[in-house]
Amino acid sequence: MFKIIKWAIYIALIYFIGCFVVGLFSDDDESEEGATTETSVSENASDKETALSIDEQVKNLERGVSKNKKDTERPTNSTSGWGTGKVREISQTEFGSLVANYTTAKNRYIGKGAAVVDIYATWCGPCKMLSPIMDKMAKKYQGQVQFYKMDLEKSRNVQRAYNISSIPTLMFCKGSSIKIITGAPDESSLDALISEML
């Protein structure tokens, strides 16, 4: 009988020691796991804040907004830095806010600096030939002229407003006027048209 009680005490002690050890290590694992979760959540929050701030910075740069007071005090009609040196693809909606309100005042340019708009189609051979020339002109006139391109297939309202029946169609915009030509000019002709506009 004494041996049975002795073995029962040993088994109980081993059980309690085992529970204690397991509890000790499981608490550490849970706290480490919790710390890892907290760290990853805070890192993710930090990454999101960084991403948001980068997105906001890009949007502000595109809009010409700056946190610097001197930059914000600049007159709104200033065109310094106008023309990115690249041809920017725009949608029909962007055309309405960057070039002209084609529903109410289609011949009145509303941009802040000189611009050239290339209305093209992906299947158009002459449009494909004009594209690298537009890229070259965008680099040449960086800081002076903004270059846009708009897919005619995605801009049916603009097509109807301007009665565009031939592509490419180019719009030369300066001041408040818009000059429209059809066809793909060669490099020297396009250069001359842009120089004349400036």
Distance CA 157, CA 95 (A): 11
Query: Per DSSP, which regions of the chain are E strands?
Result: 87-89, 114-120, 145-151, 169-174, 177-182
Active-site residue, 124 included:
yes
Q: Which of 127, 130, 167, 184 is catalytic?
A: 127
- Which residues lie below 8 Å from residue 136, measured CB to CB, with a gap of 6+? 187
Residues 110, 121, 124, 181: which is the catalytic one? Answer: 124
Nearest to 148 by CA among 76, 101, 192, 84: 84
Please state, in angstroms and rounded to a whole number, the distance separating the CA atoms of residues 78 and 187.
Answer: 29
What are the distances in angstroms from CA 188 to CA 1, 105, 147, 194?
A: 113, 31, 17, 10
Which three-class secondary structure string do you get for 104-157? CCCCECCCCCEEEEEEECCCCHHHHHHHHHHHHHHHHCCCCEEEEEEEHHHCHH
127 annotated active-site: yes
Task: Enumerate the active-site residues.
Answer: 124, 127
